[in-house]
Amino acid sequence: MIHTTGLARRFHSGRQTVHAVRGVDIDVAPGEVVGLLGPNGAGKSTTLRMLTTLLAPTAGSATVAGYDIRTDPLAVRRRIGSIGQGNGSFDGLRTREELQAQGRFYGLDRHTARRRADELLQRLQLSGQADRDVAKLSGGQRRRLDVAMGLIHRPPLLFLDEPSAGLDPHSRSNLWEHVTGMRAEHGTTIVMTTHYLEEVDAAAQRVIIIDHGRIIAEGTPDQLKSKVSGDLVTVELADPGDRSAAATIAAGIPTAHEVAPGRDAVSFRVSHGDTVTPEIVRALDAAGIRLRGTQVQRPTLDDVFLSLTGRSLREDHG
């Protein structure tokens, strides 16, 4: 569905040249759901803009939905749906009108545009808002209208750029329900970027991690997490004075590493954290060290990014 080789884009601002994307090779198979992950400014959105023909690449090539983005952008546009970061609807128009207009922009005749608009409004629970000015919609409703606009021509490939940014958790899960529902029904290929790691984790079959305009890792969420060696086990100490003793005991456990004594806790990474926890609790108990509690954390995609770059994804966008 997507094939790129050495796709790159640089910008000139004043005398500086910014290499936003430095040659990425991406392959996406039909029906796949792929998440692009990376901090702000990593080049995710620039990559999407090139793939959706909004921005010409400065190097490399890409075919999207079977057509070259450079030589046949029109054919690409006909076959993709794209939901950008902003709100595509514009104040002053009514919900149904905006959706119908979008259908007309895709070359649908008046009748078909109207029929599909009504279908989508119903599916996305916007029927009650069909005749309201889009300015009066809530954030979640407006975002669902954006999704509807991206789907009006039934594209086989859908791009979502930060689809749930700025939405409350309820609207977010509602939005994803709709997107995954569409996918289940039509087998739509989806490429998305998001800041919410849980969303990528839940929705994406494959994750491409981008940093400084390059792909630094890719794989299924589980494959990526297995690169982080082991679970994070934390034992919270009743007496902070015990921390060096506790750290020594933790270090003695097979496969334990990255032992880090904190102020009143000791954490370490270890494979199979679940089975190790009772073990360390017994060992600490035997040494007369009292505990307040224990925690086991499976690696997150943020841990993956941290282990790859030494930086947290969350640092960049609080």
Binding site for other proteins (CB under 8 A): 52-55, 74, 77-78, 80, 82, 84-93, 97-98, 101-102, 104-107, 146, 149
**Minimal distance in Å, beta carbon 4 to other proteins?**
18
CB nearer to other proteins: pick between 92 and 187: 92
CB nearer to other proteins: pick between 3 and 94: 94
**Minimal distance in Å, beta carbon 250 to other proteins?**
51
Judge contact between 257 and 270, C-beta under 8 A: yes
Q: Please tell me what DSSP assigns to residue 94.
A: B
Measured CA distances, 209 to 60, 218, 231, 305 (Å): 19, 6, 21, 8
**Minimal distance in Å, beta carbon 77 to other proteins?**
4
What would the DSSP string read from start to end of 267-286? Answer: EEEESSHHHHHHHHHHHHHH
**Minimal distance in Å, beta carbon 83 to other proteins?**
8
Say whether 49 sits in a helix, a strand or coil: helix
CB nearer to other proteins: pick between 78 and 214: 78
What's the Rg (C-alpha) of the chain? 24
CB nearer to other proteins: pick between 104 and 123: 104
CB nearer to other proteins: pick between 84 and 140: 84
Say whether 254 sits in a helix, a strand or coil: coil
**Minimal distance in Å, beta carbon 118 to other proteins?**
17
CA 267 – CA 297 distance, rounded (Å): 11
**Minimal distance in Å, beta carbon 192 to other proteins?**
15
Q: Please tell me what DSSP assigns to residue 255.
A: T
CB nearer to other proteins: pick between 77 and 195: 77
Measured CA distances, 47 to 28, 67, 98, 288, 296 (Å): 14, 17, 27, 56, 36
**Minimal distance in Å, beta carbon 222 to other proteins?**
33
Q: Work out whether the CA dihedral 168, 174, 176, 179 comes out positive or negative.
A: negative
Question: Residue 219: left (phi > 0), alpha (psi -120 to 50), or beta?
Answer: left
CB nearer to other proteins: pick between 18 and 202: 18
